[in-house]
Structure 1
């Protein structure tokens, strides 16, 4: 008696010799039949396929995925077809799938797919896809790209989730680049658009492809065009909203994200990604209470098996808990923050943003660097160098460079991948000669595109120790670069007869880059000297100081620039923040009004002015009550002012005091 062929596995391939063996090994136990449609491989793909017992069908590639997949369906002899790609593999469910298919009455079944988009455990996107279907129901593929499964027969509405779970590596940046999938997709989608210029599905996939090419504004335009044409019931509509919002955030257009998602999240209450994206947009605009509420909504979303939503890992758990902890800490609610961070780390002890936030919290609450490092290492429980580096990154965030360097030395993390972390720690701890020796080794080992930053660091270390750069520094440099750097060096080392080019924009731009780098490394004497090259460098110098937490040094320069009427809007804002923090509310309000006169749409300045006026009004009310205790109306006004100031605590308009910046502020 002939054995019934239950499940056939179909693949569409071309030059997949590297990935195909992993895929076929994962399905060989469940497949009664393996059909491989080859569209012109020139490597060992066909040979590998046949070694696994696959039936290989050669077909000419016609820029049409549906056409090629349908060729395979013509050769199917099984009751069910499961289609998979070479960059995918079955993780679990092999033992249960046959029993599941024998019992189900459905025509189609979903498979849970995990798409890896990076190397970290949380860098993955999960969703359910229809990948298994009966062969006697007239199913066919349609669409040149991102093909859809269709049938002209009436279907049973139930689409259950099968036991199979897939891992997909095709979205890893290394694979995307190597296989040139993005350019191939753009070519096919452009052809499709010529045939159907208003098709929302094609427009959406064009947006995704533009995004993958780094063409973010074109991606936004295609998302908007797709959204105008899309049907509300379209299954990919929530994913379009998600991707559109992510691109807008990348472009810094958080106000557009709020406008887009505030109503849409009501339609997709269990889609955690949309709630998190809305929260991120609200947070960027300073609305802490609204952001907290949206993160909280995300944390309450339930993860359902076979969820058709495209979901980033942790969007309903450790990601929003970490964000809520950060916001609670920002509002001064430290016990709430502690609870939320602990919960996030319990769910994912190696989630780096949670580790960084936990280190920041511990620093604010008075823990020593060694205590923080000990707690972090206890959470991470490092098994390999990459795990230890999570602790290093958290320590660098809070400026604990000596402790980070000790851990790097203790664990002998001196391979090229980790020497950059070592270099940062060495420079930050003042070990400049050792840093130069390390830089020389790194230049020989690192790719050429990384050398510009290393050369800047070399120059900073040498000039800080009043050393002239050696001939080897200039190797492979063009003549113009050599002249520019030697000119800067002469100026920095105060050689006699220096003739700096004060109006050369290229030189000034380069000096600004190395000056800001010097401030970041706390090489402040050198940074000050670089800022003296040209008066136009004073504003970026003062801003860099303020951003790194050197508040008093920054304030002196900003006040001088104000007196000379050379201060721009951002400089006014920074000076206003400094005055506000010192309690000089009248002077602060003047600064914020100055910002508004220069940039009327600056919401931070408007919030600063409002807060300053509330404090001034509060002072007047308090003085009045002190002089006239019987003034009940004024007492009521004071209570209202106190309530307004408390409410403004839920809006973040000042630069955050955290991590390295907090350390520098305290040191100053």
Structure 2
């Protein structure tokens, strides 16, 4: 007798996502048995578009709690496996691996979420994208906790699946409204749990997204002081902290932190990419030692990025720091050095 294959359902919550909901649903439909959408008060064409894409659409007044909304739609799905996705995300590659992965035992599937974002000023460098590994493929019965930046609550093992999700919600056109919503919710959560390093880290990310680098550096410092060894966000926190210190006049402090951390991250292109940026900042602040110390350090750091190559497995890694972004910085630096030498 042939076993019944597990039922896989894509679940999502949405509100006023007419811009992107079709893209999301079209990308997941080939790989799942059903799509269940929970609408929390759309006033645009989101519901009609989702229904036209074949989704079951249910309605709930926004409970001001992401975990509550996630859990509501999971209960409606009644699936063996739930692919949890957001409306501003879509499957970029790897969807064909989903069904065979779900034939395995219960565990949490961590997907690679690649988030594009805008550079803060005009630049000749390609636009970057961060990569995060997040548990989004959940077996029956797993539920969420946390009013914002909710997390699945389970003792099951977390296993990565080769499924790439693209996300454009951090781009400037979409991010501002989320910041207005997310930061107050995070602060409310923090008031109930003031030592929570993950909430502090997320507050830093919100401030960084708003390009309030001094405040982001403060949040990241507080998060770093409380983050336990081995926390999944450790690498991303360090890189973001160094970057925000650099952007807010703290390059010297960031360099001290980097010297303490360099032995821990010898194979992180993100670490050495930011180290190169810090060296350039120091060259501007200390021109007397620029040619003898800081510019050679920047070149060495970016060369190290290229030697390491891309590391999408590292939480919070930025696509290109082990390849074209480092090469771009090296080319610009060498052009500048050639001009100085020619002068």
Same fold at TM > 0.5 = yes
Residues 1:298 and 2:301 aligned together: no
Aligned counterpart, 1:207: 204
Instruction: Work out whether residues 230 and 237 of structure 1, in 8 Å CA contact, stay in contact via their aligned partners in 2.
Output: yes
2:136 corresponds, among 131, 136, 140, to 131
Q: Distance in 1 between matches of 2:246 and 2:269?
A: 17
Residue 6 of structure 1, CA deviation: 2.6
Partner of 2:273: 276
Give the Å deviation of 1:184.
Answer: 0.3
Per the alignment, do residues 291 and 2 of structure 1 end up closer, same or farther by CA in structure 2, a change over 3 Å counting? Answer: closer
1:211: how far off? 2.4
Give distance in 2, aligned partners of 1:330 and 1:55. 58
Per the alignment, residue 539 of structure 1 pairs with: none
SS of 1:127's equivalent? strand
Output the CA distance in 1 between the equivalents of 2:106 and 2:68: 25
Bigger radius of gyration among the two: 1
Task: Give structure 1 regions of 4+ aligned residues with deviation exceeding 6 angstroms.
Answer: none
Aligned residues of 1:88 and 1:167 also touching (Cα < 8 A): yes
Q: Structure 1 regions of 5+ residues with no counterpart? A: 332-360, 365-656
Q: Report the count of equivalent residues.
A: 327
Structure 1 residue 5, shift from structure 2 partner: 4.7
Matched, 1:226 2:232: no
- For the residue of structure 2 that corresponds to 1:235, the secondary structure is coil
The structure with more strand, counted as a fraction of residues:
2
Q: Structure 1's 207 and 329: CA in aligned 2 closer, same or farther, altered over 3 A? A: same
User: Which residue pairs with 1:148 in the alignment?
Assistant: 151
Write 1 or 2 for the structure with the bigger share of helix. 1
Any idea what SS the aligned residue of 1:28 has? helix
Rounded Cα–Cα distance in structure 1 between residues aligned with 2:46 and 2:57: 10
Q: Counterparts in 2 of 1:141-540, with a 5 A limit?
A: 141-151=144-154, 154-155=155-156, 157=157, 159-162=159-162, 164-177=163-176, 180-285=177-282, 286=290, 287-304=294-311, 307-328=313-334
Contact 2:71 2:143 (C-alpha < 8 Å) held by counterparts? yes
Cα displacement string for residues 263-315 of structure 1 (whole angstroms, at most 9, x for unaligned residues): 2132222221111111211232232333333223222324356x142122211
Question: Which protein has greater RCO, CA pairs closer than 8 Å, 6+ apart?
Answer: 2
- Contact kept in structure 2, 1:276 and 1:295, CA below 8 Å: yes
Match for residue 11 of structure 1? 12
Between the aligned partners of 2:28 and 2:100, the Cα distance in structure 1 is 16
What is the CA distance between 1:106 and its match in structure 2? 5.8
| Gap change, CA 1:23 and 1:158, over 3 Å in 2 | closer
1:47-66 aligned within 5 A: 47-66=48-67
Measured after TM superposition, the shift of residue 16 of structure 1 is: 1.2
**CA positional deviation for 1:14:** 0.9
Q: Secondary structure at 1:22's aligned position in 2?
A: helix
Report the Cα distance in structure 1 between the residues aligned to 2:334 and 2:175, rounded to whole angstroms. 39
Distance (Å, rounded) in 1 between the aligned partners of 2:126 and 2:105: 36
1:29 deviates by: 1.2
In the alignment, structure 2 segments of 5+ residues that lack a partner are: 120-124, 283-289
How far apart, CA to CA, are the structure 2 residues paired with 1:106 and 1:314?
34
| Greater alpha carbon shift after TM alignment, 116-125 vs 263-272 | 116-125
Partner Cα separation in structure 1 for residue 264 and residue 160 of structure 2: 23
Q: How far apart, in 2, do the equivalents of 1:198 and 1:99 lie?
A: 41
Q: How does 1:84-99 map to 2 (within 5 A)?
A: 84-99=85-100
Secondary structure at 2:159's aligned position in 1? coil
Asked if the contact 1:8/1:76 (under 8 Å) is kept, the reply is yes
The CA distance in 2 between the partners of 1:288 and 1:171, in whole Å, is 32
- Paired residue for 2:285? none
Deviation at 1:128, TM superposition (A): 2.7
Deviates more, 1:214-223 or 1:63-72: 214-223
Over 3 Å counting, the alpha-carbon distance change for 1:273 and 1:304 in structure 2 is closer
Secondary structure in structure 1 of the residue aligned to 2:31: coil
**Deviations, residues 342-387 of structure 1 (Å, cap 9, x unaligned):** xxxxxxxxxxxxxxxxxxx6xx5xxxxxxxxxxxxxxxxxxxxxxx
Alpha-carbon distance between aligned partners in 2 of 1:304 and 1:220, rounded to the nearest angstrom: 24
Q: Is the 8 A contact 2:113 2:132 kept in 1?
A: yes
- CA offsets per residue over residues 149-193 of structure 1, 9 Å max, x none? 121xx42x461323x22111111111223xx11110111112111
Look up the match of 1:389: none
Question: How far apart are the structure 2 equivalents of 1:304 and 1:218?
Answer: 28
* Paired residue secondary structure (1:74): helix
What is the RMSD computed on CA atoms of the aligned residues? 2.5
Q: Residue by residue, what CA displacement relative to the aligned partner does 1:563-586 show, whole Å, maximum 9, x if unpaired? A: xxxxxxxxxxxxxxxxxxxxxxxx
* Distance change (3 Å), C-alpha of 1:21 and 1:328: closer
CA distance in 2, matches of 1:191, 1:134: 30
Give me the whole-angstrom Cα distance separating, in 1, the residues matched to 2:334 and 2:244. 27
1:329 Cα deviation from its structure 2 partner: 5.5
1:121 CA drift (Å) = 5.2
Deviations 1:500-546 (A, max 9, x none): xxxxxxxxxxxxxxxxxxxxxxxxxxxxxxxxxxxxxxxxxxxxxxx
